[in-house]
Each structure stands twice: as C-alpha cells, then as structure tokens.
Amino acid sequence: MPELPEVEVVRKSLDKKIKQKKVKKVIIRNRNLRFKIPLNFESFLKNQKIIKVDRFSKYLILHISNKTYCLLHLGMSGTVHLVSNNDKSLITNTSFYSNPILPKKHNHVELIFEDFKLIYNDPRRFGFFQIIDNDFELKKRFSHLGPEPFSTKFNVRYILSFFKRKKKNIKNFLLDQYFVSGIGNIYASEILFLCKINPSKKVSKLKKKDCQKIINFSKKVLLHAIKKGGSTIRDFKSTSGKKGNFQNKFKVYERGGLKCKRAECEGTIKKKTISMRSTFYCNICQK
C-alpha cells in the first residue's frame, strides 16, 4: 500500500498535469470499488475544473471549481495513469504491473480532459472515490484521524497525552492512523531505527526525549523519502513513470540477517511480526 511519501509524489505529479484543467467527460467502467461509486459521480465532475490537487495522510484531494471536493484513496493496489487521448495502444509510463501495458480489465474510472485522460486502475479494488460537498464535510471526513507528522499538533505534549495509560508497543502506535496519519509499515521501521527504539517497546516506558526523537525522525524520514520519489518495492511508480529510490536508503526494512548500518554497532537486523506486519530492527542498538 502506498504510504504518505508515495501519495505525496503522486499528488505533485497530478497537480502539475491536471491543475486548472477541465474534465470533459467521466467514464465509470466499474462502480464496485471499496465503496460503491455514487450514481451522480459523472455529472458531479463533468465540465468542472480541477483547481488543485491536495493531500491529507494517504488521501488525494481534488479541489473542484464548484467549491466541492473529490477524494481518492489508492487502497492496496490502486494506481493513477495519464494517457494521451490519441494513444490507442494504452501504453502508459506508470503501471501496477512490471510491463508497460495498462490492462483494460482493471481500468475502473476515466477522467477525460482536452488532450489526455486520467485512468484509475485497481486490481484488488480496495481504493475508492468519494464526493465531499463543502469545507465543513471535508474537515469532518478527517476528524477521526490523528495529525500528520509534519503538523505542529504532532508534538511532545500530544504524544505523552495520547500514550497515557496505554499498553501497546510503539510500532503499533506509529501504524495507528488515529494517533498519527500517514506513517505505514516501511517508514515505521525506519523511524524507530533512527530513534534507537525497539519496535516492541511499550509506550508507557518512553521518555520525553524519546517522544521528541519520534517527532524529529518521522519528519526527517518522510521528507527524505518524498525527495527520493518514495519507495518502489514491488509496484509503486509516480504518474510520470519514475520509480522511487528511497528503498536504496533503507537502514532496516527488508534487511533481515544483514549487519547493522551503524558503523559503531555490531548488531544484526532482525525480522519479527508485530500485529501481522513484518518488522525490522537492530538487535543491539534499538533498546
């Protein structure tokens, strides 16, 4: 599943391409995504201009010219493809698959612009589109989620208050979107390595300085990943077709059995399962 950096890379690519462009036509080939696409979706977007493409957590937010919004969540396997209207072969430079052919079978939604079309492709159909009528409803839509790591609300006071009388381990909390929005499995392992915190450590044992490290390194890791175009493990590419290369910078993720990258550490990267998710950490320097 794309995490915050990957979604931000897609947002930037889309914003450059569809910002201030008018949707000429909407084609729905399959309404049965994670949530059924509403029957008025075509009329909602047709002849409307995309003012800009925003993001919160792992959600893409299309600002529409009639002061409404369209949310897009990529789910597990959703990808966005930009294809020239004159391209009959459906060759695209970004695909869930290893070959460059965009398979029609999983093309569920198409937004037709003047010279190109935006295609939403999703083999597993866990992604979804949602219409949001106004600013109040948009704010309400995300009210149950925690702040993003970049937000000033994600501070030591907030973290200590949230952890109070909690018994879960820190890895689970970093994956908990009610606590902090946008961090997924890959980046949680990388953040905790830089913090020198064991992913199994109970949050009740964390000190104030540990919380500050989590804040600082969450921002550092995510910003670095965005700069590197995200992480391409199996299927992620931006809408420009470029693979992310942050995976080349991994300190622990998918490095099980290898030596710790800290020069002064003699530890080995271990792999364990926490809440059914693969977790990587150093057995020496992460306490």
Residues 8 and 137 in one domain: yes
In the sheet that holds 69-73, the strands lie side by side as 21-22, 49-56, 59-64, 69-73, 128-132
Query: Which residues form the catalytic set?
Result: 2-3, 58, 277
Q: Is the pLDDT of residue 96 over 80?
A: no
* One domain, residues 104 and 189: no
Q: Has residue 236 been placed in a domain?
A: yes
Phi (first) and psi of residue 118, to 5 degrees: -100, 125
**213 in any annotated domain:** yes
Handedness of CA 14, 110, 20, 38 (dihedral sign): negative
Same domain assignment for residues 111 and 236: no
The confidence score (pLDDT) of residue 77 equals 86
**Residue 286: both structure tokens together:** 């992460």
Q: What is the pLDDT of residue 38?
A: 93
Residues 19 and 103 in one domain: yes
Of the two residues 79 and 149, the one the predictor is more confident about is 149
Domain assignment of residue 13, yes or no: yes
Q: Which residues pair with 132 in a beta bridge?
A: 69
Phi, psi of 68 (to 5 degrees): -115, -175
pLDDT at 246 over 70: no
Amino acid at 72: L
- 239: domain CATH number is 1.10.8.50
| DSSP designation for 278 | E
- Please check whether residue 183 is in contact with residue 215, taking contact to mean a CB–CB distance below 8 angstroms: no
Helix and strand numbers (H, E) in the chain are 7, 11
In terms of domains, do 135 and 187 share one? no
| Residue 148 lies inside a defined structural domain of this protein | no
For the whole model, what pTM was predicted? 0.87
pLDDT for 268 beyond 50: yes
Computed over its alpha carbons, how large is the radius of gyration of the chain?
20
pLDDT category, 275, cuts 50, 70, 90?
A: confident
| Same domain membership, residue 129 and residue 8 | yes
**Distances from the Cα of 78 to the Cαs of 105, 129, 174, 192, 260, in angstroms?**
13, 11, 23, 28, 34
Q: Quick one: 178 and 135 in the same domain? A: no
Dist CA 213 CA 195 (whole Å)? 6
Range of the domain at 125: 4-141
Residue 255 lies in a domain: yes
Mean pLDDT of all residues belonging to the chain: 88
3-class SS letters over 60-90: EEEEECCCCEEEEECCCCCEEEEEECCCCCC
In a domain, residue 150? The reply is: no
Q: 61 or 243, which is more confident?
A: 61
Nearest-angstrom CA–CA distance, 51 and 55? 13
Domain co-membership, 134 together with 165: no
Q: Are 167 and 268 found together in one domain?
A: yes
180-234 pLDDT tens trace: 999 999 999 999 999 999 999 999 999 999 999 999 999 999 999 888 765 443 3
Question: What does the block give as tokens for 101?
Answer: 């052919």
Instruction: Give the residues across from 117 on adjacent strands.
Output: 83, 112
Residue (of 184, 22, 194) closest to 112 by Cα position? 22
Task: Answer whether residue 287 is part of any domain.
Answer: no
Residue 239's pLDDT band (cuts 50, 70, 90)? very low
Do residue 137 and residue 160 come from a single domain? no
Q: Mind listing the pLDDT tens digit for each residue in 136-192?
A: 999 999 999 999 999 999 999 999 999 999 999 999 999 999 999 999 999 999 999
- Higher-pLDDT residue of 61 and 16 is 61
Q: Is residue 161 part of a domain?
A: yes
> What CA–CA distance (Å, rounded) separates 281 from 42?
47
Question: Tokens at residue 151, please?
Answer: 């937000």
Q: Are 192 and 174 in contact (CB under 8 A)?
A: yes
Based on the structure, what is the number of domains in the chain? Answer: 2
Q: Which residue has the tokens 């993001």?
A: 55
Q: What is the mean pLDDT of residues 79-94?
A: 66
Q: Cα(first)–Cα(last) distance of the chain, in Å?
A: 28
- Are 177 and 121 in the same domain? no
Enter the DSSP assignment of 28: E
Last residue of a domain, one of 95, 116, 141: 141
